[in-house]
């Protein structure tokens, strides 16, 4: 091959060695620029013909380590030893991370933490991920992974009640009767505000661990819990005098999301892409149907005949149904909403 970098080998050019090197570098850079322009054009074509979701999937499937280089994910600890649904979130994260291109394990702090404390730990870097019922405030402060972890079922609430009070609830036929009773709720949850905005009496508590005790001791009359939570909590030690009341339910549009720090877009992309994959493939529904925490909820037709009072939720960032509502809850969404802003009835 002819070398352009030797005066001896290219006498007709009469170029200096420096000129030859310069010409070689120029040709090399031109080649690289051409390749880069071709790659940019390819990426622009991908961008112009695919959705943001498909672009994320392209990056994830080709080089997920470029998105997130940490090998350990520190997750939210349980709220208390009564946190019967904690296993669901932990196992769901394990399913998300069970991918041949990922090498990420999870770590759980050896402590308990309220929802407020968990978000504080997320902010100071002690945690990488938390989960909570969403609100406009949370979605402004943190990066929400907007695939509902229960497919929208979190908003269907059954009441934990004292077994001795079953007859009191058996005679309820309309929302005004339920509004005359007080509901236990955490002062850190959007649920408390949603209930009060819709005219329900609420007895607020700071710690999750105290709410079942409050109900047992008569500080409130019932404790509305998501159907994904109620049955497991009723079985916890110390709750023997409590039961899940299955004739009446409350419903409001409400989602449980994973949250990460705003700046942690790399982790957010991995979680969001994997959850979308699992939801679309049906694996997420299968996981929910088989998991010990949630398998007793199915089939969902068992809830069609409940006396359901629908509430308005004004705290959503996007009141429209999310794109990834992956469960058919049309029987709930079609319900009329009860009258709002009625003053709570006095006891």
131 neighbors 259 (Cβ within 8 angstroms): yes
Q: What pLDDT is attached to residue 30?
A: 52
Write out pLDDT tens, residues 119-177: 999 999 999 999 998 988 999 999 999 999 998 888 999 999 999 999 999 999 999 99
Cα(21)–Cα(6) distance, integer angstroms:
9
- Determine if the pTM surpasses 0.85: no
pLDDT over 90 for what percent of the chain? 51
- Domain borders along the chain are 1-49, 60-151+256-298
pLDDT digits (tens, 9 = 90+) for 246-276: 999 999 988 999 999 999 999 999 999 999 9
Which has more pLDDT, 208 or 112?
Answer: 112
Alpha carbon 153 to chain centroid distance? Answer: 12
Under 8 Å between Cβ of 24 and 5: yes
Give the homologous superfamily in CATH for domain 60-151+256-298. Periplasmic binding protein-like II (3.40.190.10)
How far from each other are the two terminal CA atoms of the chain, in whole angstroms? Answer: 97
Residue 32, burial from CB neighbour count under 10 angstroms (0-12, 13-18, 19+): exposed
Sign of the Cα torsion 313, 318, 319, 321 reads negative
CA separation for the pair 105, 112 (Å, rounded)? 20
Q: How far is 234 from 290, CA to CA, in rounded Å?
A: 20
Main-chain dihedrals φ then ψ at residue 106, nearest 5 degrees: -115, 155
Cβ atoms within 10 A of the Cβ of 50, count?
13
Q: 16-20, 197-201, 315-319, 327-331 — which is least confidently predicted?
A: 16-20
Question: 6-15, 166-175, 178-187: which has the minimum mean pLDDT?
Answer: 6-15
pLDDT tens, 38-97? 544 544 444 444 455 455 554 455 554 445 566 899 999 998 877 778 999 999 999 999
- Give the pLDDT of residue 206: 80
pLDDT of residue 331: 82
The per-residue pLDDT for 339 is 45
Q: Is the pLDDT at 183 greater than 70, yes or no?
A: yes
Residue 21's pLDDT is what?
45
What mean pLDDT value characterizes the chain?
81
Beta bridge pairs of residue 133: 256
pLDDT, greater one: 163 or 340: 163
Whether the CB-CB separation of 248 and 309 falls below 8 Å is answered with yes
């Amino acid at each position: 091959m002819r070398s352009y970098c030797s005066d001896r080998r290219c006498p007709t050019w009469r170029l200096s060695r420096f000129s030859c090197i310069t010409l070689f570098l120029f040709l090399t850079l031109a080649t690289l620029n051409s390749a880069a322009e071709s790659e940019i054009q390819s990426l622009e074509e991908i961008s112009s013909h695919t959705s943001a979701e498909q672009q994320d999937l392209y990056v994830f499937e080709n080089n997920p380590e470029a998105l997130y280089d940490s090998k350990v994910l520190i997750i939210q600890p349980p709220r208390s030893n009564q946190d019967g649904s904690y296993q669901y979130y932990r196992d769901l994260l394990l399913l998300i991370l069970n991918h041949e291109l990922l090498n990420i394990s999870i770590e759980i702090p050896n402590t308990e933490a309220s929802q407020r404390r968990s978000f504080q730990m997320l902010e100071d870097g002690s945690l990488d991920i938390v989960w909570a019922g969403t609100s406009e405030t949370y979605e402004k402060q943190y990066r929400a992974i907007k695939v509902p972890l229960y497919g929208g079922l979190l908003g269907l609430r059954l009441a934990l009640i004292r077994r001795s009070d079953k007859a009191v609830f058996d005679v309820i036929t309309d929302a005004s009767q339920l509004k005359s009773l007080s509901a236990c709720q955490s002062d850190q949850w959007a649920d408390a505000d949603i209930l009060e905005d819709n005219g329900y009496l609420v007895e607020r508590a700071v710690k999750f661990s105290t709410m079942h005790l409050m109900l047992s001791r008569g500080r409130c009359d019932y404790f509305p819990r998501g159907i994904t939570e109620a049955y497991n909590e009723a079985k916890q030690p110390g709750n023997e005098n409590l039961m899940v009341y299955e004739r009446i339910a409350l419903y409001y549009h409400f989602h449980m999301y994973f949250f990460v720090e705003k700046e942690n877009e790399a982790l957010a992309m991995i979680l969001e892409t994997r959850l979308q994959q699992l939801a679309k493939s049906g694996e997420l529904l299968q996981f929910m149907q088989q998991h010990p925490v949630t398998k007793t909820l199915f089939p969902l037709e068992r809830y069609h005949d409940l006396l359901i009072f629908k509430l308005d939720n004004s705290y959503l960032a996007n009141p429209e149904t999310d794109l990834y509502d992956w469960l058919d809850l049309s029987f709930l969404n079609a319900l009329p909403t009860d009258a709002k802003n009625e003053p709570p009835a006095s006891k």
